[in-house]
């Protein structure tokens, strides 16, 4: 079945450090891929998305490229800020005929950025 | 109010209690979702309603009973819960739940449920 695997956290970085959170997926068909972010005490918010191979999603300095050949969608940011501290979820849209519209999430990676 | 709201934000209940969680979306969407978020586990989809009709029930125990009286409101009725049901329950909505396309899901802040 479809699944998402993302790196275990927590990830602790200093301010202005480079961030990479790895995400790989298993899917049939051509899913869309997403990164969601959950700030403390809040629900999930869509951070960025890519709907086809080689697309790059970007938002708030974060980027991720849909790599079909490696089935990956790694999240990157060149210079993190304390305000980026949150839990990040990689997800894919379930393209199976019964569940189109479902999202399948990874377990989440907690990021802590220290001043 | 804008977006997706959930009440209460925190709930503590005993195993014999009956309580309900409420979700309301102000986005004009037609699909609504309940998710369970437990520590160190992936987000689990529980139920999906599309145009007030239940389209997904992911083998959720009957002690959880959803209700969708209209496209803007979604309830989760709880009774005879177990301590392992303690989790953050998230509601989400999207434009609809149509086959062959993805509609971005907008999440509420969640209800933190503790079952004693």
C-alpha A76: how far from chain center: 9
CB contact (8 A) between residue B42 and residue A97:
no
Closest CA relative to residue B77, chosen from B46, B52, B55, B108: B46
Alpha-carbon distance of B43 to A77, in angstroms, equals 24
| Per-residue confidence (pLDDT) for residue B104, from 0 to 100 | 81
Identify the residue whose tokens are 């369970």: B36
Per DSSP, B84 falls in state G
A3 pLDDT higher than 80:
yes
Helix or strand run (H / E) with residue B12: strand B10-13
Per-residue pLDDT, averaged over B71-98, amounts to 92
pLDDT above 70 as % of chain B: 94
Residue A73 pLDDT > 90, yes or no? yes
Find, among A109, A16, A34, the residue nearest to A73 by Cα.
A34
Q: Per-residue b/e over A53-81, b at no fewer than 16 CB within 10 Å?
A: eeeebeeeebbbbbbeeeebbbbebeebe
Nearest-CB residue to B41 (from A32, A36, A107): A107
Q: How confident is the model at residue B95 (pLDDT cuts 50, 70, 90)?
A: confident
Nearest CA in chain B to A103: B45
The answer to whether B108 and A43 are in contact (CB under 8 A) is yes
Contact list, B108 vs chain A (CB under 8 Å): 43
Nearest to A43 among B45, B98, B110 (CB): B110
Q: What is the pLDDT of residues A4-37, one digit of tens each?
A: 999 888 999 999 999 999 999 998 878 889 999 9
Identify which of B99, B102, B109 has the shortest CB distance to residue A43. B109
Provide the pLDDT for residue A31: 87
Predicted confidence (pLDDT) at residue B4 exceeds the cutoff of 70: yes
Chain B residue with CA closest to A34: the answer is B104
- Is B105 close to A103, i.e. CB distance below 8 A? yes
CB contact under 8 A, A103 and B108: no
**pLDDT of A97 strictly over 90:** no
Strands B111-115 and B10-13: parallel
Q: Can you tell me the mean pLDDT for B23-28?
A: 95
How large is the average pLDDT for residues A97-113? 81
In angstroms, the separation between the Cα of residue B79 and the nearest Cα of chain A is 24
Q: How does residue B42 score in pLDDT terms, banded at 50, 70 and 90?
A: confident
Average confidence (pLDDT) over A99-110: 82
As a whole number, the mean pLDDT across chain B is 90
Least confident interval from A91-95, B5-9, B17-21, B74-78: A91-95
Q: Do A43 and B48 touch (CB under 8 A)?
A: no
Q: Report the length, in residues, of chain B.
A: 116
Q: What is the pLDDT of residue B87?
A: 95
pLDDT value of residue A102: 78
Nearest-by-Cβ selection for B102 from A41, A42, A101: A101
Summarize the confidence of residues B49-73 as an average pLDDT: 90
Reduce the DSSP state of residue B85 to 3 states and report it: helix
DSSP 8-state secondary structure symbol assigned to residue B26: -
A105: which chain B residues are within 8 Å (Cβ-Cβ)?
42-43
Choose the mutation target among A44, A46, A55 for the interface with B, i.e. most B CBs under 10 Å.
A44
With bands split at pLDDT 50, 70 and 90, how would you rate the model's confidence at A61? Answer: very high
Q: DSSP string spanning A16-74?
A: T--EEE-EEEE-SS---EEEEEE-TTS-EEEEEEE-STT-EEEETTEEEE-BTTTTB--
Over residues A77-84, mean pLDDT = 97
């Amino acid at each position: 079945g479809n699944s998402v695997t993302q790196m275990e956290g927590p990830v602790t970085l200093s301010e202005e450090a480079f961030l990479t959170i790895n995400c790989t997926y298993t899917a049939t068909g051509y899913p869309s891929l997403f990164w969601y972010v959950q700030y403390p005490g809040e629900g999930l918010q869509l951070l960025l998305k890519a709907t086809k191979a080689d697309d790059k999603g970007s938002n708030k300095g974060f980027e991720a490229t849909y790599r079909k050949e490696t089935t990956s969608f790694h999240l990157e940011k060149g210079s993190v800020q304390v305000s980026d501290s949150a839990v990040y979820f990689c997800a894919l849209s379930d393209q199976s005929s019964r569940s189109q519209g479902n999202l399948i999430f990874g377990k989440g990676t907690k990021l802590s950025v220290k001043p | 109010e804008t977006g997706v709201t959930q009440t209460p934000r925190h709930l503590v209940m005993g195993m014999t209690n009956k309580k309900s969680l409420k979700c309301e979306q102000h986005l004009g969407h037609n699909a609504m979702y309940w998710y369970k978020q437990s520590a160190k586990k992936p987000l689990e989809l529980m139920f999906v309603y599309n145009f007030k009709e239940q389209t997904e029930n992911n083998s959720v125990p009957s002690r959880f009973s959803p209700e969708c009286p209209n496209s803007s409101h979604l309830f989760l009725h709880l009774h005879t819960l177990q301590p392992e049901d303690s989790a953050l329950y998230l509601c989400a909505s999207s434009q609809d739940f149509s086959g062959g396309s993805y509609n971005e899901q907008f999440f509420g802040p969640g209800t933190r449920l503790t079952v004693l």
